[in-house]
Amino acid sequence: MAFGARDPRGVERDRERVVIAFEVQESERLGQSARLVGEVRHVVQEGMGLTLDDVVALPPGALPKTSSGKLQRAKTRELYETGELMGRATPRDPTRIDIAKQAARSQLSYLRLNVLGGRKRKD
């Protein structure tokens, strides 16, 4: 998830910071977060020509979501700006099945929005 934010240290800037926060689907890969963060920075720079101010790798389930599973960008921004985002733990101990379900739900939501334009099917 990408969003603009103020500096969490309270440093005033002439623009918002560009931040990407993402969940690592396999908790054990969080130990490799420095490498993952570097790869994200590189891909965004190469693909969009955009320099990121911050990239945050989080455990599965740490990004705030609505009850229907949609990501909450404003809440994520608020948590980032208060410094609470980086300390968030996964709300429960996810199993591989839970992670796969969440990833499938996310992909289906993306496809529904982009293929169907967010329209619900009429039966």
Whether 103 is in a domain gets the answer: no
Residue 112 lies in a domain: no
Per-residue pLDDT tens digits for 30-87 = 777 788 899 999 999 999 999 999 999 998 888 999 888 899 999 999 999 988 988 7
Residue 114 lies in a domain: no
CA atoms 80, 82, 95, 97: torsion sign:
negative
Look at residue 104 and tell me if it is in a domain. Answer: no
Q: What pTM does this model have?
A: 0.65
Judged by DSSP in three states, 23 sits in strand
CB 52 within 8 A of CB 42: no
Residue 50 sits in a domain of what CATH number?
3.30.300.30
5-34 pLDDT, tens digit each: 987 676 777 788 899 999 887 766 777 778
User: Does 79 fall in a domain?
Assistant: yes
Please check the confidence at residue 93 and state whether its pLDDT lies above 70: no
Residues forming beta bridges with residue 56, ordered by sequence position? 21
pLDDT-derived band at 97 (thresholds 50, 70, 90) equals low
Structural domain count of the chain: 1
Tokens of 17: 């910071």
Question: Which structural domain range is residue 21 located in?
Answer: 2-92
